[in-house]
Amino acid sequence: MSVGQQKTQLKGIVGSALSFNLAASFQQHQKPFLVVFESKEKAAFHLNDLELILPADDVLFYPGSYRRPYEIDETDNANVLLRAEVLNRINSRKKPVLLVTYHEALFEKVLSKKELNRNTFKIKSGDELSIEFINTILFEYHFKRVDFVTEPGEFSVRGGIVDVFSFAHDTPYRIEFFGDDVDSIRTFDIASQLSLNTHTSLQIIPNIEHKHQDENRIGFLDYISKDTILFTSALPELLVVMDQLFDKATSAFEKKDSSVAFSHPSDLFCSSVDFEAK
C-alpha cells in the first residue's frame, strides 16, 4: 500500500480480515483509495465485504468492459454502464471514495475529464429545449430509438415525453416537456413504468467505450486524484498481465482491415511501462 511517499506491506491477512483493514485505513486517512485485485472474483469478494462495512456511497466497483480488443460486439453494456458511472461520480464528487477493481479493468484507457465533459449532455428542469434537438443529440451519441427503453443506450419519444437510458445511470429517466420547456425529470421503473424519484437535472453519457480517432484517452491512474492511496496484492503479476493483454491487442490490431482507420493499441490500452511510470 502506497501512502504518499510511504509504502506499507501487510502480511498474514486472510479472508475478510483484509477488507476490515482496508476499510479502517480508508476511514483513518480520508483520502481516495484504489484497491486492485488480481481477478474479478477476488475483487467481487472484497467488494461485498466493503459494502457491508462502509457507507454504500463510499465504495465503487470499476469493472472491465469484458470485450476482446477491437471487437465492439464483445462489449457488455452493464459493465460499460458501471465504468461510465464511476467516471461520472469521480468527476462530480468531492468526497473521497474507495474504488475496487482488478487487472483487466485498468488495462483499458479512459476518456480524459475534458473529453468526458465534452461527451456529456446536461439537462435541467426549466431548460428551454426542443424535443427535436434532444432527438438529434441522442442519435449523434449513437443511442437507439425504440418504443420502450429497457437498457443503456436506448431512448423513446412519445408526444411531449422523452425516455432515455444514459450510460451514466442504472435507471432510465423520463423527461416531460411543456412546449419547448423541460417541465419535469424523473427516474422510472422499466417493468411497471411507474416513477421512482424526481430530479432537477440529468446527465446523458453515451457508450464512452466506443473508439473514436479524435478522442484523447488516458490511463486510469491519470484520471484519478494524485492523492489516491493505491493498494495491490500482486504488483508484479499486474504488470505481467498488462503486457500479455497489450500483446493480444497489438496482434488483433495488426490483423484488422488496413482500409479502415483504427486507433493504435497505445492510444486505447495501457502497457506495464505506462502503469509503472505512474
- Domain chopping of the chain, boundaries: 2-116+216-277, 121-204
Instruction: Tell me the whole-structure pTM to 2 decimals.
Output: 0.68
User: Is-contact 208 119, C-beta < 8 A?
Assistant: yes
pLDDT at 76 over 80: no
Residue 109 CB partners (closer than 8 Å, separation 6+)? 217, 218, 219, 220, 267, 268, 269, 270
Per CATH, the architecture of 121-204 is what?
2-Layer Sandwich (3.30)
Residue 186 CB partners (closer than 8 Å, separation 6+)? 173, 174, 176, 195, 196, 197, 198, 199
Q: According to the model, what pLDDT value does residue 193 have?
A: 83
Q: Using 50, 70 and 90 to split pLDDT, how confident is the model at 73?
A: very low
Q: What are phi and psi of 264, to 5 degrees?
A: -70, 150
Q: What is the pLDDT of residues 196-206, one digit of tens each?
A: 888 988 878 77
Specify whether domain 2-116+216-277 bears CATH 3.40.50.11180.
yes
> Residues 53, 57, 61, 62: what is their CA dihedral angle, to the nearest 10 degrees?
-150
